[in-house]
Amino acid sequence: MEQYIIKGGNELRGEVEIGGAKNAALGILAAAIMTDEEVLIENLPDVRDVNVMLEAMSQIGVKVDRVSSHSVILCGENIGDVNIEYEYIKKIRASYYLLGALLGKYKKAEVPLPGGCNIGSRPIDLHLKGFKALGAKVSIRNGSICAEAEHLRGCHLFLDTVSVGATINIMMAASMAEGRTVIENCAKEPHVVDVANFLNSMGANIKGAGTDVIRIVGVERLHKTEYSIIPDQIEAGTFMFAAACTHGDVLVKNVIPKHLEATISKLLEIGCRVEEYDTAVRVIAPKRLSCANVKTLPYPGYPTDMQPQIGVALAMAEGTSIVTESIFENRFKYLDELARMGATSKVEGNTAIITGSDRLTGARVSAPDLRAGAALVIAGLAAEGITTIDDIVYIQRGYEAFDEKLRGIGAQIECVSSHREARKFTLKVG
């Protein structure tokens, strides 16, 4: 089983290039099958979730031509099956985006119910509410969601909870429904906007993405397009916090600063200097970080996907901080791992009280989920001594060449798959 092994204490310095947004890519890949013509997608992140999604798509007959690790040509002309196999949904929940895409195009789809995951139960009731409001019959049979409609007709829908997945899934189905659809209380994340822009580039008629009301006029057909995915603001934020936690100075390139406003604001609050450029941000860390309170919220609030990363920073800051996780019910598991490195925290419901300590020490820890795993890497980079991280397959779901990019800015980190390799690393770094 692969592990990351890290020798902490190096100040990260230099430049790092950010890849395409995983969470935009997953919606865009699904939407791409809604046309029978060829679609070229570029700036695709080469991460496990994307690769599994492409496998799920080729399994139903989509032509997948991976022209490079960061671009793919898709054609949904010969889809022979609208039933996605369980093994794919088990690997990535977001294969449920194929439900909205297939329902929109073929008025029929069958996708296994996604289970919960490590950060919460993650229901999809709002997705199904939207499909029903568009006129689909939705039933759960043998562990799968079956959705079917004679016709999909536009509707006026209010989402009870702000949901990225439900907004994207319903937007896809509605883009090929008859008539007008209004979705209120929508998610406004950059990747929701990216999926809407992608659909519009195929001839959809979607207005208002990025606000809390999206208006769609359904079209009969969608056509070919070439599209480049936006940079990943969560990957960018992760490197920004890695700089903050290692007293570093890092230029994070290929970003959209506007998407990082909440993250930048918190980095400033904990004592960092941040320089903003057109497509890059530079983070210069102080000698000691300051405490702060943070509450995760839907965009443009502080992102839940950046909560573990700031949690690690606050565990090393001067003073006591309060972190409130308002989106998911189980996103503090990394604090149990961090305690093994000397961090002090107390979790009460969806709030964590974190008392900063002036030093973390290396330990063997395990990644509980994707973003918590990335946060534990940051902790290892900041800690004294050697940290070994198990279950890094979670991290590889959403971070391309994570160890390589970190080495490029001075980290001593390697991906090892045996005791011998781990020993070699330890002897090398001394």
Binding string, residues 221-260; x marks residues near ligand EPZ by CB under 6 A: ----------------------------------------
When asked if residue 376 is in the footprint of ligand EPZ (CB under 6 A), the reply is no
Q: Which is nearer to ligand EPZ, 24 or 289 (CB)?
A: 24
When asked if residue 378 is in the footprint of ligand EPZ (CB under 6 A), the reply is no
Among 5, 18, 19, 23, binds ligand EPZ (CB under 6 A): 23
Among 9, 123, 135, 179, binds ligand EPZ (CB under 6 A): 123
Q: Which is nearer to ligand EPZ, 149 or 327 (CB)?
A: 327
When asked if residue 328 is in the footprint of ligand EPZ (CB under 6 A), the reply is yes
**CB 159 to ligand EPZ: min, Å:** 8
| Cα–Cα dist 99/349, whole Å | 33
Among 13, 63, 66, 122, binds ligand EPZ (CB under 6 A): 122
When asked if residue 367 is in the footprint of ligand EPZ (CB under 6 A), the reply is no
Among 62, 102, 136, 166, binds ligand EPZ (CB under 6 A): 166
When asked if residue 161 is in the footprint of ligand EPZ (CB under 6 A), the reply is yes
**Tokens, residue 314:** 């606050």
Helix or strand holding residue 93 (H, E) = none
When asked if residue 26 is in the footprint of ligand EPZ (CB under 6 A), the reply is yes
DSSP annotation string for 220-276: S----EEEEPPB-HHHHHHHHHHHHHTT-EEEEES--GGGGHHHHHHHHHTT-EEEE
Q: Please provide residue 92's backbone torsions phi and psi, each rounded to the nearest 5 degrees.
A: -140, 125
Q: Which is nearer to ligand EPZ, 120 or 410 (CB)?
A: 120
Which one from 75, 117, 146, 155 is the annotated catalytic residue? 117
| Cα–Cα dist 331/342, whole Å | 19
| Cα–Cα dist 88/30, whole Å | 13
| Cα–Cα dist 166/289, whole Å | 37
Q: Which is nearer to ligand EPZ, 158 or 277 (CB)?
A: 158
**How many CB atoms are closer than 10 A to CB 59?**
15
When asked if residue 327 is in the footprint of ligand EPZ (CB under 6 A), the reply is yes
Among 104, 154, 165, 311, binds ligand EPZ (CB under 6 A): 165
Residue 156 burial (CB < 10 Å; 0-12/13-18/19+)?
A: exposed
When asked if residue 48 is in the footprint of ligand EPZ (CB under 6 A), the reply is no
When asked if residue 31 is in the footprint of ligand EPZ (CB under 6 A), the reply is no
Helix or strand holding residue 9 (H, E) = none
- In the window 383-402, what residues touch ligand EPZ (CB under 6 A)? 398
Between the alpha carbon of residue 292 and those of residues 60, 106, 355, the distances in Å are 48, 50, 11
- In the window 253-312, what residues touch ligand EPZ (CB under 6 A)? 304-305
**Tokens, residue 143:** 């562990």
- Annotation says 155 is catalytic: no
Beta bridge partners of 287: none
Taking CB atoms, the residue at the shortest distance from ligand EPZ is 165
Q: Which is nearer to ligand EPZ, 76 or 100 (CB)?
A: 100
Specify the stretch interacting with ligand EPZ by CB under 6 A; choose among 159-167, 311-319, 399-407, 414-422. 159-167
Instruction: End-to-end CA distance of the chain: give it in Å, rounded.
Output: 24
Among 9, 61, 120, 203, binds ligand EPZ (CB under 6 A): 120
Using alpha carbons, select from 362, 363, 383 the residue that is nearest to residue 316.
Answer: 383
Q: Which is nearer to ligand EPZ, 367 or 383 (CB)?
A: 367
When asked if residue 405 is in the footprint of ligand EPZ (CB under 6 A), the reply is no
Sign of torsion, CA 129 135 136 139?
Answer: positive
**CB 108 to ligand EPZ: min, Å:** 21
| Cα–Cα dist 349/185, whole Å | 26
Q: Which is nearer to ligand EPZ, 23 or 366 (CB)?
A: 23
**CB 49 to ligand EPZ: min, Å:** 7
Among 157, 187, 292, 411, binds ligand EPZ (CB under 6 A): 187
Alpha-helical runs (H) found in 33-91: 48-59, 86-91
Q: Which is nearer to ligand EPZ, 271 or 368 (CB)?
A: 368
Size of the chain, expressed as the number of residues it contains: 430
Helices (H) and strands (E) in the chain, counts: 15, 23
**Tokens, residue 218:** 């359904």
Q: Please provide residue 408's backbone torsions phi and psi, each rounded to the nearest 5 degrees.
A: -65, -15
Q: Which is nearer to ligand EPZ, 116 or 143 (CB)?
A: 116
Helix or strand holding residue 171 (H, E) = helix 164-175
Interface contacts to ligand EPZ, rule CB under 6 A: 23, 26, 94, 120, 122-127, 161, 163-166, 187, 189, 304-305, 327-328, 370-371, 398
Residues serving a catalytic function are 117
